[in-house]
Amino acid sequence: MHTQTGTPVRPALAPDPLSRNATASPPRPDHLPGLECLAPLTGEDVWLQDALLGPFSGDILEYLALARATGGPVLDLGSGAGRLAVPLARQGFAVDAVDRDGRSLHRLLDRARRLGPRVRDRITATRTDLLDLRLHRPCQLAVMAGSMIAAVPPASRARVLREIAGHLGPHGALAFDYTAHDAVELAEHPHRAWSFEVPRFDGITEWVVARQDFDPVAMREHITYAIERSEPAGSRSSSVTTGKWIVNSLDLHRDLRAAGLRVADERQYRLDDRTRSVLLVCRSDT
């Protein structure tokens, strides 16, 4: 999936299941984690977000299965333009969609409205930052998909997790995924790049070159998406950037325990020889 040069290459989207200690799971050839953290800045960037998070969203099936197991309502934290919220509502679940980006929430509600009142009426949208999260009603499933946990500063993570844990209903669960990096490889190769074609069906050809720059000391990750669009009228270029925290698994598990949560299920998928996608399902200790 990654290359050490800036040369655009198609990503090898063929991860193998990993971890002898984790739940065995099938390969996920259509999974690109972490893109919910891409904050749309223009209408074109929102299209990039929507297009990427549609086809490359194999995790939706896992989160839908968890919703069926726990029941609703579902709290979708960092919902974006409704990648999870809309399918969940279409399956009959009441969804509280929370995101800091008003443009994304507007697109979410517009999409739900076009699908009809039964879908639209199941979704409540709230614009707020996760750091200001104050919940007012219980949920059976809280979801932080697409490495959204990496958008929460480590110093605030236990408090955010505690707020979520305090609003889980009986037998409720918090489910989220994150990207785990090999520490040695990260220090030796802090700069990575890959490219992919955005699936579009409107006559526009769109390629994205993504560059990751890691700071292992500060535990920060900076990503730049360089976008090239070819249209009948000509070609255009744009750029989108986002910053995230590198998630340390030991620190994360410590914060979960501090929030009164235990890991009930863990599933891991190899993304490449340096990185894994980890999905955790957590339940309250009480």
- What tens digit of pLDDT does each residue of 98-133 get? 998 888 899 899 989 998 999 999 999 999 988 888
Percent of the chain beyond pLDDT 90? 43
Judged against a pLDDT cut of 60, whether residue 163 lies above it is answered with yes
Instruction: Provide mean pLDDT across the span 64-69.
Output: 93
Lowest-pLDDT choice from 83-87, 183-187, 237-241: 237-241
Q: pLDDT for 123-160, tens place per residue?
A: 999 999 888 888 888 999 999 998 899 989 999 999 99
Least confident of 13-27, 124-138, 176-190: 13-27
- If DSSP codes are grouped into helix, strand and coil, which group holds residue 106? helix
* More reliable by pLDDT, 30 or 248: 248
Q: How far apart are the first and last CA of the chain?
A: 41
- Cite the DSSP H helix spans in 54-132: 59-70, 85-90, 102-114, 117-120
Predicted local distance difference test score (pLDDT) of residue 32:
41
Instruction: Write down the mean pLDDT value for the chain.
Output: 80
Percentage above 70 pLDDT, the chain? 78
What pLDDT is attached to residue 63?
Answer: 92
Burial of 103 (0-12, 13-18, 19+ CB in 10 A): middle
Q: Cβ distance 28 to 56 under 8 Å? A: no
Which parts of the chain fold into alpha helices (H)? Answer: 43-53, 59-70, 85-90, 102-114, 117-120, 154-165, 183-188, 249-258
Please, which pLDDT band fits residue 57 given cuts at 50, 70 and 90?
low
The pLDDT value recorded for residue 242 is 83
Q: Out of 69-73, 174-178, 240-244, 270-274, pick the least confident.
A: 270-274
CA distance 193 to 203: 26
**What is the pLDDT at residue 10?**
29
* Range of lowest pLDDT (2-6, 98-102, 159-163, 259-263): 2-6
Across the range 218-237, mean pLDDT stands at 88
Domain 17-183+247-284 is found in CATH 3.40.50.150: yes
- Domain(s) labelled CATH 3.40.50.150 in the chain stretch across 17-183+247-284
Q: Which fold has domain 185-243?
A: S-adenosyl-L-methionine-dependent methyltransferases (2.20.130)
Specify the residue for token string 């844990």. 165
The separation between CA 152 and the C-alpha centre of its own chain, rounded to angstroms, equals 12
Report field, pTM of the whole predicted structure over 0.95: no
Judge whether 261 and 244 are in contact, CB under 8 Å: no
Question: Where do you find CATH 2.20.130 in the chain?
Answer: 185-243
Give the whole-angstrom CA distance, residue 174 versus residue 136.
16
